[in-house]
Amino acid sequence: MEAENSNALLPLDEPRVIAIRDGKFIYRFTFNRITDGDWRRYFDGIYFTSRNEGKSQVTTLDMETPGVEMVEAKLAKVEGYTRVFSTADDFKKVLPRHSNPVAWLLRMVTPSRDESDKPFDPEAIEARIDALWSQTEPGESVTLFKGLAHRFAVPSVEHKRRFYRAGAASKVVRGSRNATTVYAGRHGVLIDLYDQLILGVDGYSVGGHALQSPDEIKREMDTYHKTIAVQQLFNGGSSDEAEEAAAA
Amino acid sequence: MIVVAQDVEGLRQAALEIFVQAMEDDALERCLGSIAPDDLAQIEKLLPKKTLAPGYYEQVLYLLWFEDKLNAGITFSEISADEAEGVAALERARQQFNQEHPACPRCSKRVTFRGQKSCMHCHQELR
């Protein structure tokens, strides 16, 4: 069951709270604002490799480790354990079976299925995403911000080249045959493309007012939202695990 | 550790494999259509074996996109040495592919193996 927040603006500068239930108890995790640097460290930590085994291709993708590390680094408070956790040492004691789902909920951003109700603009391309920002009560009801719109200038062939080239970049370990391909992270390119192409957004606020100018958007927009929106601009499609890894 | 974009010989080999695989795709589709979809053992036997690490094929796909734009007359502000060498590697692979799998003079279908005396599609005699 979902509750839409169609009229509210997603408050980028308000603390995020993620609550989960474990058995009879509810645990609430309050976060400091996740900055651009925090998200870049998360993407840098993603391990994405592929190798051939006979005729099969085996892919290894680790997003959990950097996700848990980011949770530990950005927590401000945890409630629900026998006492309130509030220090860096405390946060290292958070159970992995809690930090892992919380890390996933922090990254719950997907292409939107909602259609825009505005007329088509031939001078801009719009990418729409749905996102969870905070979940103050666990369980059945999830509050999603739906149809968050990012309007981009039409990309040039140079922009597309950067996007594809970054997606193909890799290194190989242990020789060129039967070796492991280690994929390069392309989040730096995605963030740069977002900042170069963004014209406007709908659905976001900072300091109680809607984000307006491209400069304000570049400065305040959540970096994870940037990567998902710009991938949708170039792919026009899904944002599954491989997409997230490809952003790394 | 090898940077895939700089391994020109590896890229040439990967491109040649992709060209051969594309040629054999129709036949592969027909074979796949004739076996049970859950017969993984049979499917695995039919799939072509890749001799290089996966990153090579992805880099070749990017180079094919890039080459396509160059052939369409699109100019880029700058072309890196890796891209230039990579596009040259594609051309060498294409030349080898054309030598090893020439087109039938009548129906233009590719010769699939060396020493083939007649076209498998239209039965045109091949020299």
Which residue of A54, A164, A180 is in closest CB contact with B65? A164
Quick one: A153 exposed, middle or buried, by C-beta within 10 A (0-12, 13-18, 19+)?
middle
Q: Are A176 and B61 a contacting pair at CB < 8 A?
A: no
Q: Which residue is associated with the tokens 């801009």?
A: A124
Tokens of A112: 């939107």
> Rounded to the nearest 5 degrees, what angle is found at the Cα of B74, between the Cα atoms of B96 and B61?
45
- Is residue B42 within 8 angstroms of chain A, CB to CB? no
Tokens of B13: 């080999």
pLDDT of residue A192: 98
Long-range interactions of B23-29: CB distance < 8 A, separation 24+: B23/B101, B23/B110, B23/B112, B24/B48, B24/B112
- At B100, is the secondary structure helix, strand, or coil? helix
Of B110, B84, B114, A231, nearest to B122 by C-alpha is B110
Cβ A232 vs Cβ A243: under 8 Å:
no
pLDDT of residue A3: 46
Chain B interface test: which of A172, A174, A182, A186 (most B C-beta within 10 Å): A172
Q: Where are the beta strands (DSSP E) in B40-103?
A: none
* Gyration radius (Cα) of chain B, Å: 17
How many angstroms separate the CA atoms of A83 and A73, rounded?
19
Residues B47-106 pLDDT 10s: 677 789 999 999 999 999 999 999 999 999 999 999 999 999 999 999 999 998 888 888
Q: At what angle do helices A223-235 and A187-197 cross, to 10 degrees?
A: 80
Tell me which chain A residues have a C-beta less than 8 angstroms from the C-beta of B4: 169-172, 181
Count contacts between A and B (CB, < 8 Å).
84
pLDDT in tens, chain A (248 residues): 344 555 689 999 999 999 999 999 999 999 999 999 999 999 999 999 998 887 778 889 999 999 999 999 999 999 999 999 999 999 999 999 999 999 999 999 999 987 777 787 888 999 999 999 998 888 655 678 999 999 999 999 999 999 999 999 999 987 656 688 999 899 999 999 999 999 999 999 999 999 999 999 999 999 999 999 999 999 864 444 445 555 56
Tell me which chain B residues have a C-beta less than 8 angstroms from the C-beta of A51: 53-54
Phi, psi of A2 (to 5 degrees): -125, 150
Tokens of A201: 């957004």
Q: How far is B102 from chain A (nearest CA, A)?
A: 27
Which residues does A contribute to its contact with B (CB < 8 Å)? 50-52, 54-57, 157-158, 161, 164-165, 167-173, 175-183
- Is residue B89 within 8 angstroms of chain A, CB to CB? no
